[in-house]
Amino acid sequence: MSQQKVAIVGAGPAGLQAAATLVSLGVSVEIFERNGSPGGHLKQWHALFPHFQNATHALNPLLNGVKGITMHLGSKVSEISHNGNTWRLLSDDGLKYESDAVLLTTGFNLFDASRKEEYGYGVYPGVVTSAQLEEMFNGQRPWPFDKSLAAPKIGFVHCVGSRDVKCGNRFCSKVCCVTAVKQAIEIRKRFSDSAVTCFYMDLRMYGLGFEELYHEAQVNHQVQFIRGRLSEASPAVSGKIQVKAEDTLMGRPLKLTLDMLVLMVGMEPAVKLTAQNNHLALGKPGFGDGFMADRELNTPEYLQVTPGLFVAGACKGPASLPDTIQDAKAVSVDVYNFLKTKS
Ligand SMILES: Cc1cc2nc3c(=O)[nH]c(=O)nc-3n(C[C@H](O)[C@H](O)[C@H](O)COP(=O)(O)OP(=O)(O)OC[C@H]3O[C@@H](n4cnc5c(N)ncnc54)[C@H](O)[C@@H]3O)c2cc1C
Ligand code: SF4
């Protein structure tokens, strides 16, 4: 096979893994990333569930794997077109690139928590997102309460912007339950006299080691789990936050005063391809609320309209890092097989 070219859009874990895999198969690759540095959301995280592995230990091998591969940083791809056998990419900074195939690894955007006005995000400084809490753990963001405070009280709200018809997101974001459990334990380790409460609808501990972590949070770290939705957050004295909720298992209303309220924000697709995108139509309308589907479920049948356009990673739906890496490797083989048919 003569050396063929693939453009990868997005240098998150999926894009980095796919680039390394394709290069190892003898394919020429260039990566386009809208941010100033590669790594996607992974570079924002502190410790990974379920074993608290430092996120840099997962990121560094991915970055090492793309050494020598051309990466265009600060280059947001705004247009993809197809002409005969060739794909053309155009980025906001005026870069043009031609390739034999395109792999979209555009991942997700975090749900904008200010859309849930009842929680007061962006209004009360003590209301933060799960992503911001990762930055506090990493020392990149100040804590919204005095750290010398005795016995800080911290609450976590699950399903913010997920499983919520009003927000237009009916899907479960999959990783936020276990992230809340992991973060609750981290808080208890840092602030040994803290009181931590998680408010959930139901807990989805789907992965290996997740259920054990949930057990550990309750038994070893005394994290409290309350089944019930928070109705609202409002300001209390001296910068604290008052929350109202209903414990639906006990059937009683609750009022708590907290020093910090963490909103477990869900994932939304960073790029949506729809039938309106002409020949780029990939996903079925209504499938996964805008995430891109590349195959029929349970069959190897492709949904591609134009051969040569592939998708991998969390742009196909909420996914953990191991799931993302596996998917990127699998799709790279699909891309390679497609290129073989062209050569
Ligand atoms: C709060 C939180 C904590 C998490 N913690 C864990 C954890 O502990 N363990 C775990 O396994 N998983 C965790 N995850 C999930 C993990 O972040 C994802 O599995 C992973 O980031 C998916 O990688 P990706 O490459 O598909 O997408 P992303 O990480 O979103 O990367 C996509 C990349 O594409 C770029 N991009 C998008 N559009 C364009 C465009 N038009 N042009 C150019 N570039 C573009 C973006 O800038 C980004 O760099 C967590 C998720 C959340 C929300
Ligand atoms: S993983 Fe948990 S917190 Fe996240 S959307 Fe699903 S049920 Fe809600």
Rg (the chain; Cα; Å): 22
- Whether residues 117 and 101 share a domain: the answer is no
Which atom of ligand 1 is nearest to 48's Cα? 8
- Whether residues 10 and 62 share a domain: the answer is yes
- Whether residues 150 and 133 share a domain: the answer is yes
- Whether residues 217 and 251 share a domain: the answer is yes
Q: What is the DSSP letter of 284?
A: P
- Whether residues 251 and 277 share a domain: the answer is no
User: Residue 84: beta bridge partners?
Assistant: none
217 and 184 in contact (C-beta within 8 Å)?
yes
pLDDT at 275: 47
CA of 103 to the centre of ligand 1 (A): 15
CA distance 247 to 224: 12
CA of 164 to the centre of ligand 1 (A): 21
Question: Looking at the CA of 58, which ligand is closest?
Answer: 1
- Residue tagged 């043009």 (tokens): 96
Instruction: Determine the straight-line distance between the first and last CA of the chain, rounded to whole angstroms.
Output: 6
The response to whether residue 48 sits with its C-beta less than 6 Å from ligand 1 reads: yes
Taken in order 211, 213, 219, 225, the sign of the CA dihedral is negative
CA of 194 to the centre of ligand 2 (A): 24
The response to whether residue 181 sits with its C-beta less than 6 Å from ligand 2 reads: no
Q: Select from 157, 169, 177 the residue to mutate for testing ligand 2; criterion: most ligand atoms less than 8 Å from CB.
A: 177
Residue where one domain finishes, among candidates 237, 266, 295? 266
pLDDT in tens, the chain (343 residues): 468 999 999 999 999 999 999 999 999 999 999 999 999 999 999 999 999 999 999 999 999 999 999 999 999 998 888 888 899 999 999 999 999 999 999 999 999 999 999 999 999 999 999 999 999 999 999 999 999 989 999 999 999 999 999 998 999 999 999 999 999 999 999 999 999 999 999 999 999 999 999 999 999 999 999 999 898 999 998 889 999 999 999 999 999 999 999 999 999 999 876 544 544 545 554 455 788 877 766 776 666 656 888 999 999 999 999 999 999 999 999 999 999 998 7
- Whether residues 21 and 99 share a domain: the answer is yes
- Whether residues 79 and 41 share a domain: the answer is yes
- pTM score of the predicted model: 0.95
The response to whether residue 97 sits with its C-beta less than 6 Å from ligand 1 reads: no
User: Residue 104: beta bridge partners?
Assistant: 9, 311
The response to whether residue 34 sits with its C-beta less than 6 Å from ligand 1 reads: yes
- Whether residues 292 and 189 share a domain: the answer is no
Q: Select from 175, 182, 213, 294 the residue to mutate for testing ligand 1; criterion: most ligand atoms less than 8 Å from CB.
A: 175
Residue where one domain finishes, among candidates 228, 245, 266? 266
Q: Select from 108, 156, 159, 202 the residue to mutate for testing ligand 2; criterion: most ligand atoms less than 8 Å from CB.
A: 159
- Whether residues 206 and 308 share a domain: the answer is no
Short-list 297, 52, 84, 92, CA closest to 186: 52
Question: Looking at the CA of 227, which ligand is closest?
Answer: 2
Pairing state between β 260-265 and 127-129: parallel
H helix or E strand, kind and range, residue 235? strand 230-235
pLDDT at 289: 75
- Whether residues 206 and 218 share a domain: the answer is yes
CA distance 246 to 322: 35
- Residue tagged 């749900």 (tokens): 111
- Whether residues 121 and 201 share a domain: the answer is yes
- Whether residues 148 and 284 share a domain: the answer is no
Report how far apart, in Å, the C-alpha atoms of 25 and of each of 18, 44, 276 are. Answer: 11, 30, 34
Query: Residues 6 or more apart from 148 whose CB is under 8 A from it?
Result: none
The response to whether residue 105 sits with its C-beta less than 6 Å from ligand 1 reads: yes
Short-list 211, 215, 279, 200, CA closest to 246: 200
Question: Looking at the CA of 160, which ligand is closest?
Answer: 2
Tally of structural domains, the chain: 2
CA of 319 to the centre of ligand 1 (A): 9
Q: What is the CATH number of the domain that holds 163?
A: 3.50.50.60
What is 116-138 written as a DSSP string? Answer: SGGG-TTTSTTEEEHHHHHHHHT
CA distance 259 to 203: 24
46 and 21 in contact (C-beta within 8 Å)?
no
CA of 181 to the centre of ligand 2 (A): 11
User: Atom 13 of ligand 1 has which residue's CA nearest to it?
Assistant: 320
pLDDT at 278: 47
Residue ranges making up the domain that contains 128: 113-266
pLDDT at 200: 97
Residue where one domain finishes, among candidates 240, 266, 292? 266
